[in-house]
Structure 1
Amino acid sequence: MNYLELHHFLPHLNEIFAATRNSESLSFVLVEAKPLGTSSTSRQPFSLLFFCEGTEVMPQSIYQLRHSSIGEFGVFLVPIDRNAKGVVYQAVFN
């Protein structure tokens, strides 16, 4: 796989993507995967939203996510929403 595309993620909505931060195991649940307009490049821009339980808002950064079907990949995650149960993080591919 040369680069990730939206179709790699669509079958995995509501599945866990694992990560580690400061020796702590984290679970990110993919809650949304959607296209973002059109592009003149070969890849359609898209957005992913992940939910992570807990009250700590982790800083925007590159996180190494692991998924049983997709494998391991680095992604820049930005916290965009928070509620009593956890935090929503967004990744944009363009």
Structure 2
Amino acid sequence: MGLVTLEHFAGCVGSAFDLDMGESSLPMTLSEARPLPESGFPGIRRSPFSLMFRSGSPIVLPQRLYKLKNATLGSFEMFLVPVARDKEGIVYQAIFN
């Protein structure tokens, strides 16, 4: 995919993603893709952004690098951090800066 940008994910909000768990996968939904404030560093290669994924599972996965798969974007690895739990499941965030 090369240098990942917000534009890669903006059209996939609401789309299904499969998180590879080895012998099984965990379905997730991309619930949000939004820009973050610019850092002001010269020579920045991309604008920073945040992605929020929702899992319906009550089990909290540890923060780490996961392999994800999406029908539009294909397969890729992403570092996910659990950031919230509510009645619908667990919310994970990925930050790109």
Question: What range is the shorter-chain TM-score in?
Answer: over 0.9
Q: How many residues of Structure 1 are paired with residues of Structure 2 in the alignment?
A: 94
Equivalent-residue separation in structure 2 for 1:42 and 1:20 (angstroms): 29
Pairwise CA distance, 1:75: 0.3
Asked if 1:93 is matched to 2:96, the reply is yes
User: Share of identical aligned residues, percent?
Assistant: 40
Runs of 4+ in 1 over 2 A off after TM superposition: none
TM-score scaled to structure 2, two decimals? 0.90
Q: Which residue of 1 aligns with 2:52?
A: 49
Equivalent-residue separation in structure 2 for 1:35 and 1:74 (angstroms): 20
Q: Which residue of 2 aligns with 1:4?
A: 4
Alpha-carbon displacement from aligned partner over 1:8-28 (angstroms, at most 9, x marks no partner): 101111001112214221111
Which blocks of at least 5 consecutive residues in structure 1 are unaligned? none
Kindly report the root-mean-square deviation, in angstroms, between the aligned alpha carbons of the 2 structures. Answer: 1.1
Which blocks of at least 5 consecutive residues in structure 2 are unaligned? none
